[in-house]
Amino acid sequence: MPEQFTEAELALESTAPDTGLRWAGALRRTVRRPTLVASWLVIVVVALWAVIPGVFTTGDPLKIGSGDSFAAPSLSHPFGTDQLGRDLLTRTIFGTSETVKATLLAVLLGLIVGSILGVLSGLARGLVDTVLMRLVAVLLAIPGLLLAMAVVAALGYGTTNIAIAVGVASIAPFARVMRSEVIRVASIDYVTAAYGSGAGFLRTAWNHVLPNAAPTVLALAALECGSALLAVASLGFLGFGTPPPRPEWGLAVAEGRNYLSIYPWISLLPGLIIVVVVVATNRISKSLGR
Amino acid sequence: MDGPLLSVRDLGVTYQDRHGRSQPALRGVSIDVLPGQTVTVVGESGSGKSTLLNAALGLLPPAARVTQGQVLLGGNDITGWTDKRLATLRGTFVGLIPQDPGSSLDPVKKIGHQVCDAVRIHQKVSAAQAWRIAEAKLRLAGLPEPDRLRDQYPHELSGGMRQRVLIAIALANDPAILLADEPTSALDVGVQRQILDHLEMLSDTLGLGILLVTHDIGVAADRSDRIMVLRDGSTVEDGDPGQVLGDPRSSYTRQLLAHAPTAASTRVRGAGGTRADTADGDESVIELDAVAKHYSDVRAVDGVSLRVRRGRTHAIVGESGAGKSTLGRLVAGLTAPTTGSVAVNGRPVPDAPRRASQRWFHRQLQYVFQDPSNSLDPRYSVERSINEPLRNLRVRDTARERAQRVAELLEAVGLDSSVARRRPSELSGGQRQRVAIARALAAEPEILVLDEAVSALDVSVQYQIIQLLAELQDRLGLTYLFITHDLGVVRMIGDDVTVMRHGRVVETGPVDTVFSAPREQYTVELQEAIPGRSLREVREVA
């Protein structure tokens, strides 16, 4: 995009005196809401699990234990063990990276493609808008999980393919929200004023419309993280994702389902982790949307 | 009842802000309203006038705390009353006329339903009886055909009619006192006058006490038995109109009186006072020839021909729907005429001013919007906003020159260089409008189109901006196309004036001629509706 900052302007941007204050204020407001703090803590822990799982557990997720299969949760095995005696906490922690990677990839895909469609639709209006929005309506008409399953069936199994499938299914809401935000922002006086200041169409779109439309869409992205995580885990549960011995959250829930009535913790505890993370992303999204 | 209907004694209210600090909104204010009396509270935004009114109804928001004093309604101290207990007084003893007739009625309920609802809250009557009462109240509020209104929705009524419906609702349970919060600020002057006349009539005939809250000292001057001026939560003036208007005690009241746009306003000149006479040439810079703009079946502008002379302020005035804003947008190239032509300096105004090839046009003409909180990008610092035209229109070539020019422009509009790095949200309304003017001037235009550019501002800020505009005009020889609904403002800044109605020109000519010897009946009516006639009388006596 034709945004060329000169050095002087960059200097001005970076020395804005209030940036530090603004962050301090945001931090203060966050700390005053305990559920929000807890949500952020959950996300930070999960992120660390995904990046450096070895720090949180000394075990090996694939190691088959000797004799103690179906051990109930205890101090040595907080989540218990499965039918092969593998430590379930270790498997959950090591499974994080697969699930989180797929979730983030899916949301990123939906965010980028959806935003581009939404911006095009909202700024061009007319025929382009009509055609794009009809396509989005078609996408919305198909239940997300069903669409994702169809895409995985076409692409083949695997975490990346799950991510693409879930991402495609989440394009529609991003496109819709981005379009309505763009239309809202484009009708505010400062956009007209930018044209009056000699800015062209692309420059105005990039400098004024997009930055002011983005916050709402980013709040949606946080919300979508929750539902994407759920969709990724669901597809994993159904066996579309990582093939067994490798750990993954949805798969972990699936592996316990045969023993649900006798050894419920095998499915329940990984399932609980999924629930907690989804609720945390929802809470964070709500705080961003304000 | 013999005692005061409403008595506020030494009331102090503070608000808790987001950071937990308490901000005083009222500091020991006292006021009495007697039966048949109209008491007017005048103040600018932040003066505490709305807080006073809400406190009188027990309607303070949760963030507010009463720190001292009492509010007595009909002799009862309502401090600390629960909502349930207050509900026995609200409507029956005290009626509220809210500010905005556009949003104070439920858009999905019929008028008849809404008025009957108000009746049946306090009176155990059948639906038919309720409607009979509602009918009488609508008539009392000056709506002669209640049967037609019964099945209409708010959007089918004009602003003035909606305000009358709200008055009917306020009267539904025969209150002894009416509280009116800026009841006419959203209305055209003609309608404003009718509504205020009507309230006066109600007060006289029914012996109602009225507490009127307004920012417009002109309104206060014409209608009050007693005037109180509030500033920063304190009473600066309290007395009968003759004393307050004729011999105000505080310098603030004197300033308000001098700066409010009223029927008594005079032309504001730049501080230098030396206006180049050569600027008053006869040369046209803007020419409209039989311009019309139709939106499907609405004729917003319907055959207007107009010449704006160089170096002068040409005011376009009219009520809402007169087509004056559309006219401004046509001149600024923001919308294209259906028929006719608009020319600036002899060249036709480009159809699509978004293209780079039409930069010449933006260098000659800039547009200033009504609401500076919308016309400045909230994410841009002041510096970056003003820099935008300098760079895009190639007014200055290097970053160093641009930075210097931004500093000059800030100085020219009377802002300290320290605001350069702030964002619009950190500025006051007046400062924002100064920034918007600085941005417009950055393009070094000859012409500014100002669309209600001072209408959203408080009286004293409005006056400062008008002064600034006058000064800039003297210094830079600018031509203004000044669009406003306020004839008082026209008296303060206009050289020429065009009165519009229903998309057509009613009358055009020099301000002095048009206002002192109007040729058309409509111009006379508009002028008579401007509040503040009594101010002129006071001034003439003095």
Residue reference for tokens 């204050």? A21
Q: Is residue B398 part of a domain?
A: no
Domain boundaries in chain A? 34-54+80-289
Are residues B77 and B122 located together in one domain of the fold? no
Q: What is the CATH number of domain A34-54+80-289?
A: 1.10.3720.10
Q: If you ran DSSP here, which 8-state letter would residue A208 be given?
A: I
In angstroms, rounded to a whole number, what is the distance separating the alpha carbons of residues B266 and B261?
9
Residues B454 and B357 in one domain: yes
Closest by Cα among B373, B324, B355, B314 to B494: B314
Please choose, from the candidates B69, B79, B31, the residue with its C-alpha nearest in 3D space to the C-alpha of residue B209. B31
Q: Is A18 on the interface with B (CB under 8 A)?
A: yes
| β partners of residue B40 | B212, B227
Mean predicted confidence (pLDDT) in B536-540: 59
CA distance B353 to chain A (A): 7
Nearest-angstrom CA–CA distance, B273 and B259: 18
Please give the model's pTM, rounded to 2 decimal places. Answer: 0.78
Determine, yes or no, domain membership for B151. Answer: yes
Residues B170 and B182 grouped into a single domain? no
Is B227 inside any structural domain?
yes
Q: Are residues B363 and B458 in the same domain?
A: yes
B30 and B143 within one domain:
no
- Confidence (pLDDT) at A156: 81
Rounded to an integer, the average pLDDT of B323-342 is 88
Nearest Cα residue in chain B from A32 = B19
Instruction: Check residues A55 and B10 and name the one with the higher pLDDT.
Output: B10
Contact A194 B377 (CB under 8 A): yes
Question: What is the reported pLDDT for B277?
Answer: 47
In a domain, B266, yes or no: no
For the ranges A94-98, A114-118, A212-216, the lowest mean pLDDT is seen at A94-98
Indicate whether B340 belongs to any domain.
yes
Q: What angle do CA A156, A238, A77 make, to 5 degrees?
A: 120
Q: What's residue B396's pLDDT?
A: 86
Q: Is the dihedral of CA A53, A57, A60, A63 positive or negative?
A: negative
**Backbone dihedral angles phi then psi of residue B110, each to the nearest 5 degrees:** -70, 155
Q: Do A212 and B366 touch (CB under 8 A)?
A: no
| B355 and B368 belong to one structural domain | yes
**Mean pLDDT score across all residues of chain A:** 80
Please name the helix (run of DSSP H) or strand (run of DSSP E) that holds residue B213, with its range, or none.
strand B209-214
What pLDDT band is residue A8 in, cutting at 50, 70 and 90?
Answer: very low
How high is the pLDDT of residue A114?
92
pLDDT of residue B23: 82
Beta bridge partners of B447: B365, B479
Q: What is the mean pLDDT of chain B?
A: 85
- Report pLDDT for A178: 92
Q: In the predicted model, what is the mean pLDDT of residues B304-331? A: 89
Contact assessment for residue A256 and residue A250, using Cβ atoms and an 8 Å cutoff: no
Provide the 3-class DSSP secondary structure of residue B266. coil
Supply the range of the domain harboring residue B348: 277-381+444-541
Which residue reads 């939106």 in tokens? B295
Distance from C-alpha of B280 to C-alpha of B262, rounded to nearest angstrom: 26
Mark B343-357 as b/e (b = at least 16 C-beta within 10 Å): ebbeeebbeebbeee
CATH number for position B8:
3.40.50.300
Structural domain count of chain B: 3
Residue B422 in domain: no
B174 contact partners, CB below 8 Å, separation of at least 6: B92
User: In this predicted structure, what is the pLDDT of residue B438?
Assistant: 92
Work out the average pLDDT over B428-442: 89
Query: Does any domain span residue B489?
Result: yes
Quick check: B25 and B210 in contact, CB under 8 A? no
Judge whether residue B403 has pLDDT over 70: yes
Asked whether the beta carbons of residue A212 and residue B399 sit closer than 8 angstroms, the reply is: no
Q: What number is the average pLDDT over the span A245-255? A: 77
The C-alpha R_g of chain A, in whole angstroms, comes to: 23
Q: Are B263 and B486 in contact (CB under 8 A)?
A: no
Same-domain status, B89 and B126:
no
CB contact under 8 A, B376 and A190: yes
Crossing angle for the helix pair A171-186 and A210-237, to the nearest 10 degrees: 170
Q: What is the pLDDT of residue B263?
A: 73
ipTM above 0.85, yes or no: no
pLDDT band at residue B272, thresholds of 50, 70 and 90?
A: low
Q: Would you list the DSSP string of A2-34? A: -----HHHHHHHHT-TTHHHHHHHHHHHHHT-H
CB neighbour list of residue B373: distance below 8 Å, 6 or more residues apart: B424, B429, B432
A9 touches chain B (CB under 8 A): yes
> Is B375 in the same domain as B477?
yes
Q: How far away is chain A from the Cα of B215, in angstroms, using its nearest Cα?
A: 26
Task: Check whether B298 has a pLDDT greater than 60.
Answer: yes
pLDDT of residue B356: 57
Could you tell me the pLDDT band of residue B450, with boundaries at 50, 70 and 90?
very high
Range with lowest mean pLDDT among A22-26, A222-226, B240-244:
A22-26
Q: What is the mean pLDDT of residues B299-303?
A: 87
Chosen for mutation from B18, B355, B363, B388 (greatest number of chain A CBs closer than 10 Å) is B388
Cβ distance of A196 and B356 shorter than 8 Å: no
Output the pLDDT for position B539: 58
- Find, among B327, B346, B361, B329, the residue nearest to B283 by Cα: B346
The reply to whether B284 and B360 lie within a common domain is: yes
- Axis crossing angle, helix A210-237 with helix A144-155, rounded to the nearest 10: 70
Picking from B18, B392, B419 by the largest number of A CB atoms within 10 A of its own CB, the best residue to mutate is B392
Residues of chain B with pLDDT > 90, as a percent, come to 13
Largest CA distance in chain A: 78
- B451, containing H or E segment: strand B447-451
Q: Which of A18, A189, A198 sits opposite B359 (nearest CB)?
A: A198
Number of other CB atoms surrounding residue B516 within 10 Å: 9
Q: What is the DSSP string of B130-166?
A: HHHHHHHHHHHTT-S-HHHHHT--GGGS-HHHHHHHH
Residue B191 contacts residue B160 (beta carbons within 8 Å): yes
Residues B440, B443: Cα–Cα separation, whole Å = 6
Residues B141 and B243 in one domain: no
Alpha carbon of residue A155 to chain centroid:
21
A17 touches chain B (CB under 8 A): yes
* Among candidate residues B230, B260, B290, the one where a domain is terminated: B260
The Cα B454–Cα B265 span in angstroms is 15
DSSP state of B393: T
Convert B302-333 into a string of H (helix), E (strand) and C (coil). Answer: EEEEEEEECCCEEEEECCCCCCHHHHHHHHCC
Q: What are phi and psi of B199, to 5 degrees?
A: -60, -40
Does A72 reach chain B within 8 Å, measured CB to CB?
no
* Chain A: residue whose CA lies nearest to B333: A196
| In-domain check, residue B388 | no
Q: Sort residue B46 into left (φ over 0), alpha (ψ -120 to 50) or beta.
A: left
- Tokens representing residue A284 in the block: 């964070």
Given a contact cutoff of 8 angstroms between Cβ atoms, the answer to whether A46 and A96 are in contact is yes
pLDDT value at residue B313: 92
The verdict on B422 touching A (C-beta cutoff 8 Å) is yes
Please tell me if residue A258 touches chain B, with a CB cutoff of 8 Å. Answer: no
A264 vs B69: which has the higher pLDDT:
B69
A52 contact partners, CB below 8 Å, separation of at least 6: none
Task: Choose, out of B375, B380, B385, B395, the residue to mutate when testing the contact with A (most A CBs < 10 Å).
Answer: B375
Tens-digit pLDDT profile for residues B10-22: 999 988 876 677 8
pLDDT in tens, A258-283: 777 888 777 888 888 888 888 988 88
Q: Looking at the structure, tell me whether residues B150 and B188 fall in a common domain.
A: no
Answer yes or no: do B535 and B449 share one domain. yes
Q: Is B371 on the interface with A (CB under 8 A)?
A: yes
Burial class of residue B370, CB neighbours in 10 A (0-12, 13-18, 19+): buried
Mutation choice for A interface testing from B357, B377, B425 by most A CBs within 10 A: B377
Order of strands across the sheet that contains B177-181? B94-97, B177-181, B209-214, B38-42, B226-231, B234-239
The pLDDT score that the predictor gives to residue B353 is 53
**B47 DSSP assignment:** S
- Cα–Cα distances in Å, from B30 out to A132, B72, B209, B371? 63, 11, 16, 34
| Percentage with pLDDT > 90 across chain A | 9
3-class state of residue B381 by DSSP: coil
Give mean pLDDT, residues A245-261.
77
